[in-house]
Amino acid sequence: MIDNFWRDLPRPFFVLAPMEDVTDVVFRHVVSKAGRPDVFFTEFANTESFCHPEGSQSVRGRLTFTEDEQPMVAHIWGDKPEYFRQMSIGMAELGFRGIDINMGCPVPNVASKGKGSGLILRPEVAADIIQAAKAGGLPVSVKTRLGFTEVDEWREWLTHILKQDIANLSIHLRTRKEMSQVDAHWELIPEIKELRDRVAPDTLLTINGDILDREAGLKLVKEYGVDGVMIGRGIFQNPFAFEKEPKEHSSEELLDLLRLHLDLYDKYSKDLELRPFTALHRFFK
């Protein structure tokens, strides 16, 4: 392994969740200006597209990053181990510090094809993918859910993933079926942590789901003793969610972030795919 940066992070550490059509280089820089997390993930990058001569260009913008964002983790998805092997080598060459595998995306046209959360139903393929992704020498982490349909699937599924010798396991505390329509199952954190401690004590445990800001995350860490906190949709309610000393922010400060977002979009427009201002609309409604 080149360098397992996860071991050097503060405890607890905070991560901006990977979000499709949102967490590109522009959005990450805006968040960093407001309050920087400890780790950044890219938006979703497809392994098959990256490995295909005609598709690699479409993935390029999703993998654009700057050195001041390090440690930078490539969040990748698919279902063919060979593509994960090839892409992991490519990510190391591009300067990424880690690989994170998507095993939680609930979108029907992804999950129904056995990708994203669909891998929960294909545990052996999931294991093969994890091992293949280690080819580049980067630490491999996984982001997943409690299960596909039922909450009680979590024990068998997470045990299987924890046995794969990964650096970090990020768990969205809902099933694929639940999407984000029910409260996250925080009540399961103690049992999940006990499972991690028993099966894979060297694997870090990060929780995700209904965590709005650093302050809320710190309360969960104090109560449950997890290693990391991942914030996703909470960033849309409060772009300053990661700031270490919460305070009231003026409308002028929000406008400054808006101006920065627009300026950075112009700066990186050649690297990014043409897209609507999805992230911008969520920030400034």
- Could you read off the pLDDT of 105-145 as tens digits, one per residue? 999 999 999 999 999 999 999 999 999 999 999 999 999 99
Instruction: Answer yes or no: is 233 a known binding residue.
Output: yes
Sign of CA dihedral 223, 224, 229, 231: negative
Percent over 70 (pLDDT), the chain = 94
The CA distance from 261 to 188, in Å, is 38
User: Do the strands 72-77 and 39-41 form a parallel or antiparallel pair, or are they unpaired?
Assistant: parallel
Name the pLDDT band for 281 (thresholds 50, 70, 90). low
Note the pLDDT of residue 282.
56
Q: What are phi and psi of 171, to 5 degrees?
A: -120, 120
pLDDT at 274 over 90: no
The structural domain count of the chain equals: 1
* pLDDT (average), residues 46-65: 88
Name the pLDDT band for 57 (thresholds 50, 70, 90). confident
Q: Are 136 and 89 in contact (CB under 8 A)?
A: yes
105 is an active site residue: yes
Quick check: bond before 81 cis, omega within 30? no
Residue among 16, 101, 105, 231 flagged as catalytic: 105
Q: Are 230 and 241 in contact (CB under 8 A)?
A: no
Note the pLDDT of residue 58.
78
Q: Where are the alpha helices (DSSP H) in 203-250?
A: 214-224, 234-237
CATH number of the domain bearing residue 30: 3.20.20.70
Contacts of residues 107-113 at CB distance under 8 Å and 24 or more positions apart, as own/partner, are 110/77, 111/148, 111/176, 113/79
* Burial bucket for residue 67 (CB in 10 Å: 0-12, 13-18, 19+): exposed
Q: 10 lies in which domain range?
A: 5-283
* Residue in 271, 268, 276 with CA at minimum distance from that of residue 30: 268
* Residue in 265, 269, 247 with CA at minimum distance from that of residue 257: 265
pTM (predicted TM-score):
0.93
Instruction: Answer yes or no: is 172 a known binding residue.
Output: yes
The CA distance from 182 to 10, in Å, is 31
Average pLDDT, the chain: 94
Please compute, for residue 216, the number of CA atoms within 13 A of its CA located in the half-sphere on the CB side: 16
* Residue in 226, 146, 142, 229 with CA at minimum distance from that of residue 190: 226
